[in-house]
Structure 1
Amino acid sequence: MLFDRTVPRSLVHRAAVSEVFLTDLCVTGENTFQVGAQWPRAHSFYSPATLPRHDPMLFAESLRQATLVLAHQVFDVPMDWKFLSHEKSYQISEGALVLGDRPADILFAVTTREVKRRGGTVSSMITDFDCYRDGERVGSASVRWSCVSPAAYRRLRGGRDVPPPVTGVLPAAVTPQSVGRLSERDVVLSAGADGHSWQVRVDRDHPVLFDHPVDHVPGMVLMEAGRQAAKLVHGRTDLLPVGCRFSFERYVELDTPVVVTALPVRSEVPGALGVEAVFDQDGRRVARGHLDMLVCG
């Protein structure tokens, strides 16, 4: 497995080379693969501001990129097809997140299952991951996703497949320090009225969360909103999302408010604090997630 260069940015649907974390892909069997990734010691967004650790959201973004590379390179999904993430989950150990004296070289052992095709082209599958760092298994994950042709996507979106114009101003952000951020630009929640619900701040000029123009709010924005809401619910910033289970039920539109409501729940991860987050837009549930937030010193 090579870690000396990134895969082409087009394969992971990124405009900036700096946002590509994958380095290699090897086919090891009929439905098994290995994917290499490198996590930087610091990143403009995926870095816990107050904790000397790799950000677990690097894991989540690497999963997104790995499914795209497999789809295009192995399953011959055309580059212009549109992808839909339905469910994403991961678990990772705190040891996997320790900063060393160089970037972390990560190996994903990948298995695909429930592969479905339409007209000879893959239309959906579940992709399972085992995550290794320095030969030690440190995490696991699963992604259920599907893809459609551009024409099918236009029909699916009902005319909303073109990004609407940016109008108005962003709602006021919660204090960056309250969600473990240094800059207001990286805050994705506005001030809430009851301590459990916040409007998601959709900053389409953010260079990482909106690396390129899209017609809906990306899933990584919702996951980040869930992470920040979890910190507010528990009133502490020394928390890392070492476990996540998210389901994305509808497209989240860019031009109407989306609200996240988060409540503390029991976590099955020792030393972690659990949070359930639900996302609503125009009176409809659009996504939900569970986060296990580990207390880290």
Structure 2
Amino acid sequence: MADQTFPPQAQAHQPGREAEMQPRPASAMETWQPSGKLAGKVALVTGGDSGIGRAVAIGFAKEGADVAILYLDETEDAQDTRRRIEAEGRRCLAVAGDIGDPGFCQQAVKRAVERLGRLDILVNNAAEQHVCEDFAEIPVEQVERTFRTNILGMMWMTKAALPHLLEGSAIINTTSITAYKGNPTLIDYASTKGAIVAFTRSLSAALEKRKIRVNGVAPGPIWTPLIPASFDADRTAQHGSGAPMERAGQPDEVAPSYIFLASAADSSYMSGQVLHPNGGSVVNG
């Protein structure tokens, strides 16, 4: 993919809408060549309406899985994702709600299991971020909201899903390059992403005896609705230009990491690990 900048754009609401982005992200996995890696499996993907979550959900469907997607209120994006999953001949359940609410997490998992029959793969992907130039001025409510969505919601979803996950199941958590490099204007967001790394490693150790693998993915700058919903138009236009590859990645370039980690045949000897599709940044850790 060529070096690129994007047309200046911003969205005044979060989470953002993929339908409003120009250009639209590459998130339909159109060039993916499936091989039945997830045949007969059922996956639940939070934030599955757009961006990375959409590409993961569609990729899972192409590999033979039925998929439940959770989203906050981006109905148009969610229904588009559902149509694409069903076009692959797979079943899809789309559920709207706030994963920061433990009750919603319980009900969403219950609905997914009732509708799709089981649960084999949990992808904790939903997140939000808000720019703050001066940490001394960061609103308490923003910090609490970011932690509630990004890490507490991940814990509530996992807690709700665990009774349904059997030996061979997989949990995949979305962290971020900011967990390793930090970000001076996204301190609360980066902190939640660091917590996700620790959560992934700790949960992996806790579930070893149950033979449930827990891994993470730490994307770098990816062209998703979170970008115009977080930054001003000028910064959005230059998104990803600072990466070693001098461009933003696309969701379709990230989703294969999740497919790999979801497949017991491919990643049976991996747990407690984090993959780094980030455009060439070496972060270690």
Report which of the two structures shows the higher radius of gyration computed on alpha carbons. Answer: 1
TM-score norm. by structure 1 comes to 0.27
Instruction: Compare relative contact order (CA 8 Å, sep 6+) and give the higher one, 1 or 2.
Output: 2
* Greater helix fraction, Structure 1 or Structure 2: 2
* Greater strand fraction, Structure 1 or Structure 2: 1
